[in-house]
């Protein structure tokens, strides 16, 4: 178990590394020197109370926002200071599953998955549709190709969102509350689907979640945030053994 968010040493640079990152919005300090890394094929769940900066951390990792200070490296490449074209090239290696799936309402299920392929791949049109249908079949949505997002359930939208996140064959997957708003059965299905994709593709993943059972199921390691910092990280069993009052209270409330 790692106390106070000190990264592990490693001979090989991890696919994703955050070091001493700070981020404020006006007078509000959101991230206060946070450090976190994820190894190849590892899933790290980031937990914490609302307002601790978990979603902001994801936005910084994908370059949607810029840190005030510190370093964010993707495959060893520093994101700060990259031109838009360079940043877009890095983003092609990353998939992002938004909290509410963020599908385009006017596009069908199939068109939503084809969309990133149209913008960022050189595949022939027929191959783009083929790949989209393969991904939708993998997440159990191959019978809903022509439906609009408003015609399918929240859990089904999350499945389509995951298929879209995987369209460009990323080796890093970022998930923002993948089970939020879902009933326990559907949430368990999404967890199983993420595990299946991880096993098949061996991606590096960061999953922000309030869902402690989900985090325990899908993650190799958990990182608990408080006041814009990682206060402790380790396996679920290691966190259960912590004597820190905040850690114990958080785990007991989530169980």
Q: What average pLDDT does this structure show over 63-85? A: 92
pLDDT at 32: 94
Q: Is the pLDDT of residue 97 over 60?
A: yes
Average pLDDT, the chain: 89
Q: Is the pLDDT of residue 7 over 70?
A: no
The residue ranges of every structural domain in the chain are 2-93+170-254, 105-161
Q: What average pLDDT does this structure show over 69-92? A: 91
> Tens of pLDDT along 132-186?
999 999 999 999 999 999 999 999 999 999 999 999 999 999 999 999 888 999 8
Query: From its phi and psi, is residue 75 left (phi > 0), alpha (psi between -120 and 50) or beta?
Result: left
Q: What average pLDDT does this structure show over 89-108? A: 90
Tokens of 201: 């593709």
pLDDT at 100: 82
Rounded to the nearest angstrom, the gap between the alpha carbon of residue 178 and the centroid of all alpha carbons in its chain is 8
For the entire predicted model, the pTM comes to: 0.86
Q: Which CATH architecture is the domain 2-93+170-254 placed in?
A: 3-Layer(aba) Sandwich (3.40)
pLDDT at 8: 47
Q: Does 234 or 50 have the greater pLDDT score?
A: 234
Q: Give the CA distances from residue 94 to residues 99, 109, 183, 186, 211, in Å, rounded to whole numbers and listed in that order.
A: 16, 21, 28, 25, 23
pLDDT at 3: 57
> Tens of pLDDT along 149-159?
999 999 999 99
Least-confidence region, from 20-24, 140-144, 209-213: 209-213
């Amino acid at each position: 178990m790692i106390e106070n968010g000190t990264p592990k040493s490693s001979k090989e640079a991890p696919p994703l590394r955050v070091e001493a990152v700070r981020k404020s919005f006006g007078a509000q300090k959101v991230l206060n020197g946070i450090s976190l890394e994820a190894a190849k094929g590892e899933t790290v769940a980031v937990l914490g109370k609302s307002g601790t900066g978990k979603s902001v951390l994801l936005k910084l990792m994908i370059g949607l926002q810029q840190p005030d200070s510190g370093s964010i490296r993707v495959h060893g490449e520093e994101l700060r200071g990259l031109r838009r074209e360079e940043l877009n090239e890095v983003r092609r290696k990353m998939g992002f599953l938004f909290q509410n799936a963020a599908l385009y309402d006017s596009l069908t299920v199939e068109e939503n998955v084809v969309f990133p392929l149209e913008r960022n791949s050189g595949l022939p049109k027929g191959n783009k549709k083929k790949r989209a249908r393969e991904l939708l079949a993998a997440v159990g949505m191959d019978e809903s190709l022509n439906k609009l997002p408003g015609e399918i359930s929240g859990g089904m939208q999350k499945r389509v969102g995951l298929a879209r996140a995987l369209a460009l064959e990323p080796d890093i997957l970022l998930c923002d509350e993948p089970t939020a708003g879902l009933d326990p059965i559907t949430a368990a299905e999404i967890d199983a689907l993420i595990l299946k994709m991880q096993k098949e593709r061996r991606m590096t993943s960061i999953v922000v979640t309030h869902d402690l059972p989900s985090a325990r199921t899908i993650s190799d390691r958990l990182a608990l945030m408080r006041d814009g910092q990682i206060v402790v990280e380790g396996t679920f069993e290691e966190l259960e053994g912590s004597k820190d009052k905040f850690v114990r209270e958080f785990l007991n409330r989530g169980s």
